[in-house]
Amino acid sequence: MARLLWSVVVVLMACPVPARAQAPPQKIEVADRQTVAASITYEIRTTTFAVARWTAFLPEPPELPSQTKVKTTASPGGKVVAEKSPLARKVRVIDVPVANPMPGARLPLRLDVQATLRTRKLVPLKDGEKPPAVAPLTATEKRFYLAPSPRVDFDLKTFRDWLDKKTLRRKKGESAVDFATRVVAVLRADFDYRYDPLEEKRASVSCGRAATDCGGMAFMFVGAMRANDVPARVLVGRLARPRKPGVGPADTDYDQPHVRAEFYVGGIGWVPVDPAYANNDKTRPVEAFVGDDPGDMLVLHVDLELKLPFADKDRTADLLQLGPYYRATGVGPFDGAFGPTGWDVKTVPAGER
């Protein structure tokens, strides 16, 4: 009898507001920081289940303001397709039929990524300097980045009540940058950092806790911005650092998962924010973490809820950060296990070889 297994490896209301004051004369200053060569390996294994076909989806890291010259290869190679959400983000699908299904099976996967990571800094324009041209959001992007989602569920009463309790509503004339700074200040003051890969991190849940991780903080930040009519999004990836010796899969230093956020300002573009960094380093002012990207994270995909086009139907994966979303068809009781993983990264400062 054929059996199916779906597996996800988990890490990790728009409100009417008064007319806004004109945005301050600022721009995003960008510079190449480093080139990275990262390899991620996975393995899926069974003991008695006879696999007839494997289908797996891996992330396809995009070109972004924070990373460029992205080149990706995989083994097996698979093909790059668009997922089925309105954003049509690129993902890699690997389909492996098994000629002679036998009890016990193994699917090794490898993703290699090369990219140039860039620093970004929100800075004032100099006297007489004209701001650089910034592409506006498309209507589709604006709708997506203002809408609630399963993780960024700012439309729920618990989150709306939290916004009101913390006075996180934009004031008349308050810029998006100033409001974002107020949100980060609350996340720094009210929450401790705690990493638990299995903990529920929805914004409506995290806001009622005393501690959460980078994902929970980013979801709350994005929810607060969207609830105040500011387009915002989540960046899902891994820090460009190797594994720390002696740590295990339950430690963030093992696979270096990280989640950041961005919000969009007309005439400026995507402004980076790292609530978790702000929470961790209280020696620097909150403002230092709004409009500052140190260029140390490889983004695997933008935002959440990837609608993956499997052969029979589309399935939604929140994250493709630590493992693939896969399907195995075959015979017998499924006893698959997500096997050993690998994370190797080498970095070279920009300008060096």
Which CATH number belongs to the domain containing residue 327 in this structure?
3.10.620.30
Q: Tell me: pLDDT of 113 over 80.
A: yes
Q: 204 vs 318, which has greater pLDDT?
A: 204
Contact 259, 318 (CB under 8 A): no
- Mean pLDDT, rounded, of the chain: 92
Q: Tell me: pLDDT of 23 over 90.
A: no
pLDDT tier, 249 (very low <50, low <70, confident <90, very high otherwise):
confident
Give the tens place of pLDDT for each residue, 190-219: 999 999 888 999 999 999 999 999 999 999
Q: Tell me: pLDDT of 15 over 70.
A: no
* Closest CA relative to residue 226, chosen from 309, 303, 316: 303
Which residue range forms the structural domain that includes residue 339? 2-26+33-349
Give the tens place of pLDDT for each residue, 52-89: 999 999 999 999 999 999 999 999 999 999 999 999 99
CA dihedral 235, 238, 239, 243 (to 10 degrees): 170
Contact 120, 28 (CB under 8 A): yes
Q: So what's the pLDDT on residue 11?
A: 37
| Bridge partners, residue 262, by sequence | 233, 272
Q: By mean pLDDT, which of 4-13, 27-36, 268-277 is the weakest?
A: 4-13
pLDDT, average across residues 91-99 = 96
Q: So what's the pLDDT on residue 339?
A: 81
Give the tens place of pLDDT for each residue, 250-303: 899 999 999 999 999 999 999 999 999 999 999 999 999 999 999 999 999 999
pLDDT, average across residues 14-39 = 75
Q: By mean pLDDT, which of 10-24, 87-101, 151-165 is the weakest?
A: 10-24
Q: So what's the pLDDT on residue 21?
A: 46
pLDDT, average across residues 215-239 = 98
Number of domains the chain is built from:
1
Strands 192-193 and 211-212 come out as: parallel
pLDDT, average across residues 317-337 = 92
What residues have CB less than 8 Å from 295, skipping those under 6 apart? 31, 32, 33, 34, 66, 117, 118, 119, 120
Q: So what's the pLDDT on residue 14?
A: 41
Q: So what's the pLDDT on residue 10?
A: 37
Percent of the chain with pLDDT over 70: 93
Contact 248, 236 (CB under 8 A): no
> 141 — phi, psi (to 5°)?
-60, -45
Q: 9 vs 152, which has greater pLDDT?
A: 152
Percent of the chain with pLDDT over 90: 87
Q: So what's the pLDDT on residue 24?
A: 52
pLDDT tier, 22 (very low <50, low <70, confident <90, very high otherwise):
low
